[in-house]
């Protein structure tokens, strides 16, 4: 039998898109011969993943995993909403969220980490899943929040299972007190974040470039009024305060009562809001305008 070298495994991976462990096994089954190894992978359906990698994946699920003092949130995309209802895919998203809880939010580190119970890495398991389910999938992003004292609460809007859905929120609350009360407050803040879509935690965290663009637009609008510069400056200041109330979490009106500011709610609870993260499935992905079902039908020669 020919020696199974790292270079040979790499070559097989490049030709087929299959995972590292699958390539090693294929070469072992084929006695180290490349072409029979390719055939073995094709027969197992493991060489198909590479062909799907160019297709847009904007559906899928947001997954959240929690532990004392920390929580992780990931987005895993697929091509169709049908896959989000697949229990194997759901289990993968849950497992990857758990991996991120330990590996951190760097996607490369998550992809390289061991996938539980398979002997594969997360990246290799994803390739295996692509071949099994038949759609392109991507591990898009991850966030991990931690606190020294307190909790990182989570909220999933319209969850299909605990910790799985299409909008996910993490809320880091620092403070002392009953954990149940902190979790309840964190969940309320999470619901607020899901609905109000803030961009920044506080005024200091507002993106400077976004703020300058807003000031430029507001200044131009104010000048169109023909008022003196001193009045224009005050007009812009007032509108910037309104802008902060729209995009800054602590300055927003609390959605649960429509009156209080989030800042006041948190202060009354005697805790500190240390951070938040909000993922909405597929946000920012350029989706194709075509009909995926029609594309499948055309490829299969179905219809006229």
pLDDT tens, position by position, 199-243: 999 999 999 998 888 888 888 877 777 777 788 788 888 889 999
- State how far the Cα of 278 lies from the Cα of 155, in Å rounded to an integer: 10
CB atoms within 10 A of CB 77: 22
**pLDDT at position 302, please?**
46
Sign of CA dihedral 20, 21, 23, 24: positive
Tally: H helices and E strands in the chain: 13, 7
pTM of structure: 0.76
Give the model's confidence band at 62: pLDDT under 50 very low, under 70 low, under 90 confident, else very high. very high
CB atoms within 10 A of CB 269: 18
User: What average pLDDT does the segment 78-83 reach?
Assistant: 88
**pLDDT at position 152, please?**
98
Phi/psi for 32 (5° steps) reads 85, 0
As a whole-number percent, the residues of the chain with pLDDT over 90 amount to 55
For the ranges 25-34, 141-150, 226-235, 278-287, the lowest mean pLDDT is seen at 226-235
Element at 5 (helix H, strand E): none
Does residue 301 carry a pLDDT above 70?
no
**All domains of the chain in start order, with CATH:** 6-47 (1.10.8.10), 59-196+271-280 (3.30.479.20), 203-264 (no CATH)
- State how far the Cα of 213 lies from the Cα of 296, in Å rounded to an integer: 43
Tell me if residue 154 falls in helix, strand or coil. strand
**pLDDT at position 287, please?**
64
**pLDDT at position 280, please?**
94
Give the model's confidence band at 49: pLDDT under 50 very low, under 70 low, under 90 confident, else very high. low
């Amino acid at each position: 039998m020919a020696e199974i070298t790292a270079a040979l495994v790499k070559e097989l991976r490049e030709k087929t898109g299959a995972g590292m462990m699958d390539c090693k096994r294929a070469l072992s089954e084929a006695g180290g011969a490349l072409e029979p190894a390719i055939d073995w992978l094709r027969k197992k359906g493991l060489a198909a993943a590479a062909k799907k990698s160019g297709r847009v994946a904007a559906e899928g699920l947001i997954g959240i995993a929690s532990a004392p003092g920390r929580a992780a949130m990931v987005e895993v995309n697929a091509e169709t909403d049908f896959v989000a209802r697949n229990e194997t895919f759901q289990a993968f998203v849950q497992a990857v969220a758990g991996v991120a809880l330990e590996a951190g939010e760097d996607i490369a580190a998550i992809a390289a980490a061991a996938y539980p119970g398979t002997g594969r890495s997360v990246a290799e398991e994803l390739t295996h899943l692509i071949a099994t389910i038949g759609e392109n999938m991507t591990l898009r992003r991850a966030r991990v929040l931690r606190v020294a004292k307190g909790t990182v609460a989570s909220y999933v809007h319209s969850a299909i299972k605990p910790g799985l859905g299409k909008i996910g929120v993490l809320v880091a609350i620092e403070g002392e007190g009953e954990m149940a009360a902190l979790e309840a407050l964190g969940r309320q803040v999470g619901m607020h974040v899901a609905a109000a879509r803030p961009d920044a935690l506080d005024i200091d965290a507002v993106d400077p470039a976004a703020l300058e663009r807003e000031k430029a637009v507001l200044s131009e609008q104010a000048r169109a009024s023909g008022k003196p510069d001193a009045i224009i400056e005050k007009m812009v200041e007032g509108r910037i305060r309104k802008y902060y109330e729209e995009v800054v979490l602590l300055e927003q009106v609390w959605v649960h009562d429509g009156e209080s500011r989030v800042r006041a709610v948190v202060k009354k609870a005697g805790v500190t809001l240390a951070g938040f993260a909000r993922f909405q499935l597929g946000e920012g992905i350029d989706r194709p305008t075509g009909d995926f079902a029609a594309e499948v039908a055309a490829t299969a020669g179905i219809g006229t």
